[in-house]
Structure formats: C-alpha cells, structure tokens
Amino acid sequence: MPLRRIFLLGAATIVSFAALVAIAAILNGDFGDTEGKIFATLATAFVAGSSAIAGMACLERGASRPFGLAGVILATLGFVLWADQIWNQHDSNGYWKLLGVVAIWTVAILIVTTTRLMTRSPELSRTLFPATVVAAVGAGLVVTRMVLSETGDAWQLFAVLLVLAALGEILTPILQRFVVTSPGDAPPERVLGEIAGAIVVAVHGGGDRIIQLEDREIPFRDDERIVVRRA
C-alpha cells in the first residue's frame, strides 16, 4: 500500500476516533481532563505521523535520505516525549527544553522533507531547495539557542529565516510550473500518476510515439493522445 494511502487512512482513523471521544463526552455531559489528554495525544500523533510519512517518502524515493531519516527519528521521539508529558505532566524545566528542541527540529525537518518531495526540477534542486534547507536549518539553530539559553535576543533573525524557509516551500510547487528542464537535465523517467494499482511512467528518449505495456510496445498517431481509465 502506498505511503500516501497509509497516511490518509491513519489520519481518517485519528479524526474518527477524536469525533467518537467528543460525542461520548457530549452525551455524558462531561468533558474532563482525560478527554483533553486524549485529544492532545491524537493531535500529537497526527503531527508526528505527518513528519514520519514525509521522512519515509524521502527514504523511499532516495531523495535527501539524511533528512528523511532524521524526520522519522524526530517524529517517533517527539511523539513518545510529548505523549509522556501529556499524561504524566512533568514539571522539570530541562524536560520542557528537550520537548521544545525536539519540536523545533521536527518542524524544521518537516519543511525540508516536504519541500524536497515537491521538488522535481533539477534547476530548483540546485537553487531554491538548498536555499530553503539553509533557511530552515538556520532558523532551527537560532531558536534552539534561544530555548536553551532562555533568551529572546535573536528573535528577529529567527523570524526572517522562518519566513524565508516557508517562502521556499510555498514557491517550490509554483515555480516548478514555469521552469523549463533542458534535455540534458531531464530525468530518465517521470511518474505521471497511479491508477488501479498501476503506475504510469513517461520515459525520456526515443522519437517514436509509442506506449509500452509491460513487454509490448504499441505505437499511436500524432493526432492521438493516451487516456488512462480505471478498468
């Protein structure tokens, strides 16, 4: 099962469970501390799951694997630490700092991994994506220092870097529509989509208009186009 479907099913399960808890609390006329902890845990699971899925997708595609691995590790560690805090409510200042640092880098790595997953153009991979990584990592370093030292003297630098990182993530899917890939930089394969369990791939090279179905090659005319429908 594709990771996207796993994530969607997991998200649907979390939301459905949260709705059931809310309905039960309403019918009982009591929304207490336990229900609040359940909702907080579900929200934590949703955020951690998003980060883990993005990291696993990078690992699966072989794109920015160190960031993908870091995303999975931070998401898992973050969920465990935050769930422990939600239910046990530690008062330690050091524990809160640890939670803050893990949350900071989970968000920073999530920006990097999601941007990388959206980046398909070689030009953007060499320009906008590295700039986004630098901004996200820089923002993480600055705010980590602020949390550990308990000072806010560098908040302006952090804010600027965070805005730049968010801007890079937002611009990536937009600019990709306008960037023209030269033939030398074109990838050998491009995934066009998936339908009924089959992946449709465009293969670079060759001037003939053909469609390949497993080991069969079927030509089609210049005035024809290929439409893929569910069986």
For 168-226, write each residue's pLDDT tens digit. Answer: 999 998 887 776 554 455 455 556 666 665 666 666 555 566 776 666 677 766 666 77
pLDDT band at 69 (very low <50, low <70, confident <90, very high): very high
**Confidence at residue 167, expressed as pLDDT on a 0 to 100 scale:** 95
User: Over 90: is that where the pLDDT of 61 sits?
Assistant: no
Q: Which amino acid is at 42?
A: L
- Burial-class residue 97 by CB neighbours within 10 Å (0-12, 13-18, 19+): middle
The pLDDT mean for the chain works out to 80
Please tell me which residue, 226 or 80, carries the higher pLDDT value.
Answer: 80
* DSSP structure string for the chain: --HHHHHHHHHHHHHHHHHHHHHHHHHHT---HHHHHHHHHHHHHHHHHHHHHHHHHHHHHTSSHHHHHHHHHHHHHHHHHHHHHHHH----HHHHHHHHHHHHHHHHHHHHHHHHHH---HHHHHTHHHHHHHHHHHHHHHHHHHHHHT--TTHHHHHHHHHHHHHHHHHHHHHTTTPPPPGGGS-SEEEEEEETTEEEEEE---SS-EEEETTEEEE--TT--------
* 50 pLDDT tier (thresholds 50, 70, 90): confident
Q: What is the pLDDT of residue 215?
A: 63
pLDDT at 112 over 80: yes
Residue 84: predicted pLDDT:
92
Contact between residue 107 and residue 143 where contact means Cβ atoms under 8 Å apart: no
> Which has more pLDDT, 53 or 128?
128
Per-residue pLDDT at 192: 62
pTM of the model: 0.69
